[in-house]
Amino acid sequence: MPELPEVEVLVRHLEPLLRGQVIRGVDVRRPRVLRPSSETELRRALVGSVFVNLNRRGKYLLFTLRRAGSRKTFPLLGHLGMTGRMYLLPANAALPKHAAVVLRFARSQLVFEDTRYFGRLTLDTSAVSALGPEPLDERFTAHDLRNALRRPGQSLKVKLLDQSLVAGLGNIYASEALFRARLSPRRRADQLSPKQAQRLWRSLRQVLREAIAWGSTVRLHWGPADGRNNLFYYGAAEGESGYAHERLRVYDRAGQPCLRCRTAIRRIVQGARSTYYCPRCQRC
DNA sequence: CACCATGTTCCTTG
DNA sequence: CCAAGGAACATGGT
């Protein structure tokens, strides 16, 4: 469930459900996702603690908890990796095949499910300090973006995925933002004019904001993965049939006509990952 | 069997 | 020392 918008929507959804919940038990089925925390470490910190709040930073979930009878709070860091999901189930519900960690409450349980186990749930929050600015923060300006892209010379697309420059963009929204800004993903990042940087800045924020707005209004499927792709990137809402990629204008549309000029969308590989773009609209 | 997949980190190569 | 590229992690879909 990864990029920034999905995490944001998940955080908004989960926060009111978690606040005040007391953790009675911790069930670790895949210790790998705790890295570098250990199972005993996590259990000792969490059992008896209560959820205070939940925030997002980049693609990370930041839980704040408090030990019973204490005023001091401590953080718990989550990351969904490529295939992670988090949701509440009734206390006695059966767990999915790829449940990685389960936090048990009196009447419900928080399930962290992750088929590929690339995600994390850990007491180590150090990764957050390496993140660049929040793209939707009002303090993040077009000038900041231009400076971030300035340093070495690399393609725009690859740079946008660098979480230390801007936090939260992933492979899908990086392509989408470049399409809207009409900038080539292959273009060197370090020589954008102020005007182009401004365009990219606006596009990037627009793409992320629209995705959050969309995910907030549609009824999403919060339960266990049912074998299909439940990402809201693809417009898969509960009770909806079909998976039209309507929301995405270029991603995964190789060979299809550009929505702006009808030229065939092209797929290239950059940094070992797929990039989609319109060779006509997105010139250097 | 082949290739692809929303992410991050570590290692090698130049 | 730095940047770029690749592999690894692990599972599933087409």
pLDDT digits (tens, 9 = 90+) for A91-107: 999 999 999 999 999 99
A229 Cβ nearer than 7 Å to chain B strand? yes
Task: Identify which of A141, A131, A152 has the alpha carbon closest to the alpha carbon of residue A60.
Answer: A131
Nearby residues of A284 by Cβ (< 8 Å), 6 or more positions away: A183, A184, A186, A187
A81, pLDDT greater than 80: yes
Rg (CA), chain A: 20
Nearest nucleotide to A151 (CA to C1') is: C3
Top-confidence residue, A70 or A205? A205
- Taking residue A77's Cβ as centre, other Cβ atoms within 10 Å add up to 19
Q: What pLDDT score does A240 carry?
A: 52
Report chain B positions within 7 A of protein CB atoms. Answer: 4-9
What would the two tokens of residue A216 be? 């907030």
Report chain C positions within 7 A of protein CB atoms. Answer: 2-7, 9-13
Q: Which residues pair with A111 in a beta bridge?
A: A87, A102
What would the two tokens of residue A117 be? 């186990």
Q: What pLDDT score does A242 carry?
A: 42
Q: What pLDDT score does A165 carry?
A: 93
Q: Tokens 């393609």, residue?
A: A155
Nearby residues of A164 by Cβ (< 8 Å), 6 or more positions away: A130, A131, A132
Pairing relationship of beta strands A120-122 and A73-79 according to DSSP bridges: antiparallel
Q: What pLDDT score does A244 carry?
A: 42
Q: What pLDDT score does A68 carry?
A: 86
What would the two tokens of residue A127 be? 């990764």
Q: What pLDDT score does A90 carry?
A: 97
Top-confidence residue, A132 or A226? A132
- For the segment 113-172 of chain A, residues whose CB is within 7 A of strand C: 115-118, 151-154, 158
Pairing relationship of beta strands A25-28 and A120-122 according to DSSP bridges: unpaired
A2 Cβ nearer than 7 Å to chain B strand? yes
The whole model's pTM is what?
A: 0.94
Give the SS3 label for residue A178.
helix
Identify the residue whose Cα has the smallest distance to the C1' of C5.
Answer: A271
Q: Tokens 């266990």, residue?
A: A224
Q: What pLDDT score does A219 carry?
A: 79
Top-confidence residue, A2 or A227? A2
Nearest nucleotide to A190 (CA to C1') is: C3
A36 Cβ nearer than 7 Å to chain C strand? no
Are A37 and A76 within 8 A, CB to CB? no
Mean pLDDT of chain A: 92
The distance (Å) linking the CA of A199 with the C1' of C2 is: 30
A86 pLDDT tier (thresholds 50, 70, 90): very high
Percentage of chain A lying above the pLDDT 70 cut: 94
Top-confidence residue, A77 or A190? A77
Q: What pLDDT score does A247 carry?
A: 85
Pairing relationship of beta strands A84-90 and A49-57 according to DSSP bridges: unpaired
Q: What pLDDT score does A245 carry?
A: 45
The distance (Å) linking the CA of A29 with the C1' of C10 is: 15
pLDDT digits (tens, 9 = 90+) for A5-15: 999 999 999 99
A228 pLDDT tier (thresholds 50, 70, 90): low
Annotation says A72 is catalytic? no
The distance (Å) linking the CA of A36 with the C1' of C10 is: 18
Q: What pLDDT score does A241 carry?
A: 46
Instruction: Indicate which residue of A56, A57, A59, A266 is catalytic.
Output: A59
Sheet with A60-67, side-by-side order of all strands: A49-57, A60-67, A73-79, A120-122
A35 Cβ nearer than 7 Å to chain C strand? no
Nearby residues of A193 by Cβ (< 8 Å), 6 or more positions away: none
A161 Cβ nearer than 7 Å to chain B strand? yes
Annotation says A67 is catalytic? no
pLDDT digits (tens, 9 = 90+) for A20-54: 999 999 999 999 999 999 999 999 999 999 999 99
A151 pLDDT tier (thresholds 50, 70, 90): confident
A181 pLDDT tier (thresholds 50, 70, 90): very high
The distance (Å) linking the CA of A260 with the C1' of B3 is: 30
pLDDT digits (tens, 9 = 90+) for A238-276: 555 443 446 899 999 999 999 999 999 999 999 999 999
Are A122 and A133 within 8 A, CB to CB? no
Instruction: Indicate which residue of A3, A6, A113, A176 is catalytic.
Output: A3
